[in-house]
Amino acid sequence: MTKLSVNINKIATLRNARGGNMPDVLRVAMDCERFGADGITVHPRPDERHIRYQDVYDLKQIVTTEFNIEGYPCDKFIKLVKTVKPAQVTLVPDAPSDLTSHEGWDTVAHLDFLTELVSELKAEGIRVSIFVNPEPRMVEYAKRAGADRVELYTEPYASMYHFDRGQAVAPFVAAALKAREVGLGLNAGHDLNLDNLAFLKKNIPFMDEVSIGHALICDALYLGLEKTIDAYKKCLV
């Protein structure tokens, strides 16, 4: 079964809006695991507008499932992940000023940079995933860079899903098949939700993991966190 990693950035956003420690990011992470999440994802940014660097250190002490840290590999980020040593690092090419991720790496143009970086992180015993657009060539060059996995950037799929779901998923199937062909693990994330997740899983049944935050936390406002995590996991059966 494809694993569900819950991105808890939005919990930190809510906490930071008021100050103090409500909601408690650490408690929410533990609750997510207790309710069935297979992993916890965070995406710290240099301005710490949601997850703070201290949160990452604190989460390392209590997360018992897979801990995934994603972000742009600036010096501060690399120092953080080499200290924390999560199960997985997902390299994302977002600028510090970006509101959210909006594209994958050009693994062809950045092959040398990514190869050196992947080697450095794998030497620390960390699994490395590279965030890519759904293009077989980008997947192939992620393999050349030495990555263990790719994470497919699924916003284009989510945007087109309600207009033509077959057309929406087609490039993702092609990229996924290339990943399997070259021996890469396969993750997916960005704008996945209860409407579109099951169809993606049906068409790419061999995905290793999906990382979901914004939609899942929004659904939890209505359904509650436990029922929401259960609903997302049912989409992945």
Is-cis flag, bond preceding 23, omega within 30?
A: yes
Please say if 190 is a catalytic residue.
yes
Query: Which is nearest to 176 in space by CA: 154, 204, 148?
Result: 204
Q: How far apart are CA 129 and CA 150, in angstroms?
A: 5
Would you call 214 a catalytic residue per the annotation?
no
Out of 33, 140, 151, 190, the active site residue is 190
| Separation in Å, CA 181 to CA 115, 177, 215 | 20, 6, 31
Tell me if residue 237 falls in helix, strand or coil.
coil
| Pairwise CA distance, residues 15 & 154, whole Å | 27
What is the rounded distance in angstroms from the CA atom of residue 226 to the CA atom of residue 220? 8
Concerning whether 43 is annotated as a catalytic residue, the answer is: yes
Question: Looking at 33, 43, 140, 209, which residue is catalytic?
Answer: 43
Per the residue annotation, which of 33, 70, 135, 140 is the catalytic one?
70
d(CA 134, CA 164): 17
Facing residues of 33 across strands?
A: none
Torsion of CA 128, 134, 135, 139, to 10 degrees: 20
Looking at the annotation, which residues are catalytic? 43, 70, 190
